[in-house]
Chains A and B, each alone.
Chain A
Amino acid sequence: MICVNCGVELEDGLVACPLCGMDQEKKDEKGIISDNYPSGIIRLQKEESRKYLWELSGIIAFSAIAICIVVDLLISRGMKWSLYAAISILETWIIATVIMISRRNVPIMLTGIILTILAALLAYDLVESGLEWFFPVGLPMTAGIFAAAGLVAFLCKISRYRGFNIIAAALVIVAGLCMLMEIALDRYIDGAADLRWSLIAATSIFPVAMIFAFFHYRMKKGKQLDSFFHV
Chain B
Amino acid sequence: MQLSGKKSGEGTSGSPVREKGWLKLDNAAKLFPAIMSEDLTLVFRLTVTLKEPVKYSVLSKAVELTSRRFPYFSVSLGSGLFWNYLEMNEKLPRIQAEEEIPCTAFAVSRKSETLYRILARGRRISVEFMHILTDGSGALEYLKSLLYTYLQLAGKPVGDPGDIILPETPPSEEEYEDGYNKYFRKVPPPAKIVKAWHLPFRLSEKPRLSTVEAEVSVREVLEVSRRYKASLTEYFVSVYLYSLQEIFHTENKNRKRPVSRVLRVQVPVNMRTKFPCRTLRNFSLFVMPETDIRLGSYSFEEILRSVHYQLQLSTDVKQLSRFLSSNVSYEKLMLIRVLPLFIKKMAITAIYRGLASKRMTGIFTNPGAVNIPGWMHEHIDHFSLVPPPPNRWVKVSAGMISFGDRLMICFSNITRTRELERLVLKRLASDGVHVRILNNNLNNRKR
| Residues in A lying within 8 Å of B, measured CB to CB | 2-3, 5-11, 14, 17-20, 29, 32, 34, 36-39, 41-42, 44-45, 48-49
Which of B50-58, B179-187, B309-317, B331-339 lies on the face that meets chain A? B50-58
A-contact 0/1 string along B55-96, CB 8 Å cutoff: 111011000000000000000000000000000000000111
Q: Which residues of B contact A29 (CB under 8 A)?
A: 446
In the complex, what distance in Å separates the CA atom of A19 from the CA atom of B55? 11
Q: Is the CB of B96 within 8 A of A19?
A: yes
| Residues in B lying within 8 Å of A, measured CB to CB | 38, 52-57, 59-60, 94-99, 101, 104-107, 109-110, 113, 117, 119-123, 128, 446-447
Q: Which residues of B contact A34 (CB under 8 A)?
A: 447
**Also in contact, A37 and B447, with CB within 8 A (given A42-B105, A44-B110, A49-B109):** yes
CB < 8 Å neighbour of A5 from B53, B57, B96, B446: B446
In the complex, what distance in Å separates the CA atom of A29 from the CA atom of B97? 14
In the complex, what distance in Å separates the CA atom of A11 from the CA atom of B53? 12
CB < 8 Å neighbour of B447 from A6, A39, A44: A39
**Also in contact, A5 and B97, with CB within 8 A (given A11-B57, A42-B104):** yes
Q: Which residues of B contact A39 (CB under 8 A)?
A: 99, 101, 104, 447
- Please name the 10 residue pairs, one residue from A and one from B, whose CB atoms are nearest each other, closest first: A7-B122, A45-B107, A38-B104, A19-B97, A20-B97, A9-B53, A8-B54, A9-B55, A37-B99, A11-B57
In the complex, what distance in Å separates the CA atom of A26 from the CA atom of B299? 61
CB < 8 Å neighbour of B54 from A5, A9, A45: A9
CB < 8 Å neighbour of A8 from B53, B104, B113, B446: B53
In the complex, what distance in Å separates the CA atom of A41 from the CA atom of B91? 15
Q: Is the CB of A6 within 8 A of B110?
A: no
Which residue of chain B has the shortest Cβ distance to A34 in the bound complex? B447
Chain B binding surface, main DSSP class:
loop
Q: Is the CB of B123 within 8 A of A7?
A: yes
Q: Is the CB of B120 within 8 A of A6?
A: yes
Q: Which residues of B contact A3 (CB under 8 A)?
A: 56
- Shortest beta-carbon distance, B177 to chain A, in Å? 30
In the complex, what distance in Å separates the CA atom of A7 from the CA atom of B38? 28
Q: Which residues of B contact A48 (CB under 8 A)?
A: 109-110
A-B contacts, 25 listed (Cβ < 8 Å): A6-B98, A7-B122, A8-B54, A8-B56, A8-B122, A10-B57, A14-B56, A17-B97, A18-B95, A19-B120, A29-B446, A34-B447, A36-B96, A37-B96, A37-B97, A37-B99, A38-B99, A38-B104, A38-B106, A38-B117, A38-B128, A41-B94, A44-B110, A48-B109, A48-B110
In the complex, what distance in Å separates the CA atom of A48 from the CA atom of B60? 27
Which residue of chain B has the shortest Cβ distance to A45 in the bound complex? B107
In the complex, what distance in Å separates the CA atom of A49 from the CA atom of B38? 15
Which residue of chain B has the shortest Cβ distance to A48 in the bound complex? B110
Q: Is the CB of A19 within 8 A of B95?
A: yes
In the complex, what distance in Å separates the CA atom of A7 from the CA atom of B55? 10
CB < 8 Å neighbour of B53 from A7, A32, A42, A45: A7
Q: Is the CB of A18 within 8 A of B107?
A: no
Best-surrounded residue of A8, A10, A29, A34 (most CB of chain B within 10 A): A8
In the complex, what distance in Å separates the CA atom of A19 from the CA atom of B97? 5
- Shortest beta-carbon distance, B354 to chain A, in Å? 24
- Shortest beta-carbon distance, A17 to chain B, in Å? 8
Q: Is the CB of B128 within 8 A of A9?
A: no
**Also in contact, A41 and B54, with CB within 8 A (given A6-B120, A19-B97):** no
- Shortest beta-carbon distance, A8 to chain B, in Å? 5
- Shortest beta-carbon distance, A80 to chain B, in Å? 40
Q: Is the CB of A6 within 8 A of B107?
A: no
Q: Which residues of A contact B109 (CB under 8 A)?
A: 45, 48-49
Assuming A11-B56, A11-B57, A37-B99, what are 16 further A-B pairs, CB within 8 angstroms? A6-B121, A8-B121, A10-B57, A18-B95, A19-B56, A19-B96, A20-B97, A32-B447, A36-B96, A37-B447, A38-B106, A38-B117, A41-B107, A41-B110, A42-B107, A45-B107
